[in-house]
């Protein structure tokens, strides 16, 4: 199980680090710049929002996952006040969030000043704290969803964001436990996820993922059908489709996730992060290619954090 916890966080970091290289870059420009789709951690494209980062660093998306994971590991429980303090500390270090979702920053500013936060947007960034909370409560999806909503609502009160976060929290816990043989049982897995969401639109997206898998749709078809933008249901559904298409092949999942830019560019770091977390949680850390892990700037720190989170999740 410890290996799966490592897989979830390292997979998320690798997916984010590779995906940020081509975020919002259309396919033609990726091919022109890199010669082909990317298959390794590389220098971000000059037009990527992450162009200021070095190869192997992670973007603000993974930083949000890490903040919540560190709070859980340090406190041994879900401590909302501690997470607020960590968010504010992160907010004040502006260099760390040069292109984070603006509504996230507006909400943290409101928390800092003691003001009521607004409804927030429906971007996928607001949902990402669900991953470490789902890991912490991996044996109890009801607690995972309750804890996730409490944290997500610090910055996003939007119903779609809460639904998408619930999907992430439940999915990561189920994958860590390995209760489904997903090559055959993906339909049952998707039906389980549907029981934890409330909006018709969310259920519609999950049904579309299942339909695409049933007909063995291509990755390009999935981009056309589901979208690949930062709208939470697009990014989460796209990541879920890519993972469930080849659930036992971590390398394949991450490569297709980080190259999910399509003809017009997409939120490839978020899709890569989520898909990488799913595949790593399901298959374990040893299935992530060593050449990727060793290029992560903070690989050893991420492994240590995963081990600490695993330890507190056992209590």
More confident residue, 73 or 89: 73
Cβ neighbours for 63, distance < 8 A, ≥ 6 positions apart: 90, 96, 97
More confident residue, 121 or 189: 189
**Alpha-carbon span 311 to 315, nearest angstrom:** 8
pLDDT of 218 = 98
Alpha carbon distances (Å) from 250 to 11, 80, 159: 8, 33, 31
Cα atoms in the Cβ-side hemisphere of radius 13 Å centred on 166: 24
Ordered by start, the domain boundaries in the chain are: 2-313
pLDDT of 100 = 65
pLDDT band at 107 (very low <50, low <70, confident <90, very high): confident
Cβ neighbours for 100, distance < 8 A, ≥ 6 positions apart: 60, 64, 125
Tell the residue number behind the tokens 């998320």, with chain if given.
Answer: 12
DSSP-derived secondary structure for 144-194: HHHHHHHHHTTT---HHHHHHHHHHHHHHHHHHHT---HHHHHHHHHHHHH
Cβ(207)–Cβ(240) below 8 Å: no
**Alpha-carbon span 216 to 179, nearest angstrom:** 23
Lowest mean pLDDT among 93-97, 117-121, 184-188: 93-97
DSSP-derived secondary structure for 25-43: --HHHHHHHHSSS--S--P
Q: What angle is formed at CA 279 by the lines to CA 194 and CA 66, rounded to 5 degrees?
A: 90
**Alpha-carbon span 189 to 177, nearest angstrom:** 13
Which tens digit of pLDDT belongs to each residue from 210-240? 999 999 999 999 999 999 999 999 999 999 9
Q: Of all helices (H) and strands (E), which one includes residue 258?
A: helix 250-258
More confident residue, 128 or 118: 128
**Alpha-carbon span 51 to 264, nearest angstrom:** 18
Q: How many helices (H) and strands (E) does the chain have?
A: 16, 0
Architecture of domain 2-313: Orthogonal Bundle (1.10)
Question: By C-alpha distance, which of 298, 239, 262 is closest to 13?
Answer: 298
Alpha carbon distances (Å) from 194 to 51, 70, 202, 293: 37, 29, 8, 33
More confident residue, 96 or 308: 308
Which tens digit of pLDDT belongs to each residue from 74-105? 999 999 999 999 999 888 876 655 556 677 77
Alpha carbon distances (Å) from 58 to 55, 214, 237, 267, 290: 9, 34, 22, 14, 17
Which tens digit of pLDDT belongs to each residue from 142-182? 999 999 999 999 999 999 999 999 999 999 999 999 989 99
Q: Which two tokens stand for residue 140?
A: 């109890």
Cβ(57)–Cβ(297) below 8 Å: yes
**Alpha-carbon span 298 to 231, nearest angstrom:** 28
pLDDT band at 275 (very low <50, low <70, confident <90, very high): very high
């Amino acid at each position: 199980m410890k290996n799966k916890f490592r897989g979830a966080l390292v997979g998320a970091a690798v997916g984010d680090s590779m995906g940020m290289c081509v975020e919002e870059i259309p396919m033609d420009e990726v091919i022109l710049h890199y010669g082909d789709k990317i298959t390794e951690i590389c220098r971000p494209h000059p037009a990527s929002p992450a162009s200021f980062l070095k190869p192997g660093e992670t973007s603000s998306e993974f930083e949000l996952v890490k903040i919540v994971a560190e709070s859980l590991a340090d406190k041994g429980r879900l401590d909302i006040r501690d997470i607020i303090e960590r968010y504010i500390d992160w907010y004040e270090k502006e260099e760390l969030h040069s292109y984070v979702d603006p509504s996230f920053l507006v909400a943290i500013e409101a928390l800092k000043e003691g003001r009521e936060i607004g409804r927030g947007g429906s971007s996928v960034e607001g949902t990402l704290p669900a991953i470490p909370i789902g890991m912490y409560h991996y044996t109890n999806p009801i607690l995972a969803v309750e804890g996730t909503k409490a944290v997500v609502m610090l910055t996003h009160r939007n119903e779609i964001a809460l639904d998408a976060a619930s999907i992430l929290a439940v999915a990561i816990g189920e994958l860590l436990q390995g209760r489904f043989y997903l090559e055959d049982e993906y339909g049952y897995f998707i039906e389980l996820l549907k029981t934890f969401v409330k909006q018709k639109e969310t259920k519609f997206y999950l049904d579309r993922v299942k339909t695409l898998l049933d007909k063995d749709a291509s990755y390009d078809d999935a981009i056309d059908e589901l979208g690949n933008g930062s709208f939470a249901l697009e990014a989460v559904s796209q990541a879920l489709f890519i993972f469930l298409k080849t659930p036992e092949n971590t390398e394949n999942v991450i490569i297709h996730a980080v190259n999910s830019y399509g003809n017009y560019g997409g939120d490839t770091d978020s899709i890569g992060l989520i898909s990488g977390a799913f595949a790593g949680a399901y298959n374990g850390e040893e299935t992530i290619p060593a050449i990727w892990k060793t290029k992560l700037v903070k690989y050893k720190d991420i492994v240590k954090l995963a081990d600490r989170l695993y330890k507190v999740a056992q209590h």
